[in-house]
Amino acid sequence: MQKITQCLWFDNQAEEAANFYTSIFKNSRIGKITRYGKEGYEIHGREAGTVMTVDFEIEGQKFTALNGGPVFKFNEAISFVVHCKTQKEVDYYWEKLSEGGDKRAQQCGWLKDKYGVSWQIVPEALSKLVGDPASEKSQRAMKAMLQMKKIDIEGLKKAYDGR
């Protein structure tokens, strides 16, 4: 069993969100779905039989989606990083995860999906291109990245090379 599992608190979209995420990532699946019973209705206010939790897995990482009500909202303090080898991968995950999301929240590879969950779509080359604060090349690439919403690998390389 995985030692630590992320639990994502939704109002009432846990099953919908789990299906959305597993439709985007190829190596994913829906697991056990638990439902509310009559017990505790006065606390949770959910009808018996409605979805309580959905266990799902993305790329070997286990998650639980919980229908907990409107009390808590997602924010940028927690995000999920998707590491991409190619621009094609960056484009794919950016397009899929940002569909219906908050377009104002997109900056430097960060996006917020339609449920309010923050994601970072990051090319593997990024750390090499912007990772040396003493390098003029890295500083040019960093300046270029700060102007981007979705990361453009070729644009970063051009800035890094001074083109």
Q: What is the CATH number of domain 6-67?
A: 3.30.720.100
3-state SS, residue 54: strand
CATH code for the part of the protein at 79-161: 3.10.180.10
pLDDT in tens, 112-145: 999 999 999 999 999 999 998 889 999 999 999 9
The alpha carbon dihedral of 108, 102, 98, 5 has a sign of positive
pLDDT digits (tens, 9 = 90+) for 26-60: 999 999 999 999 988 888 888 999 999 999 999 99
Q: What percent of the chain has pLDDT over 70?
A: 100
Confidence of residue 156 (pLDDT cuts 50, 70, 90): very high
Calculate the alpha carbon distances from 20 to 73, 115, 126 in Å. 18, 10, 27
- Using an 8 Å Cβ cutoff, are 25 and 64 in contact? no
pTM over 0.75: yes
Spans of all domains in the chain: 6-67, 79-161
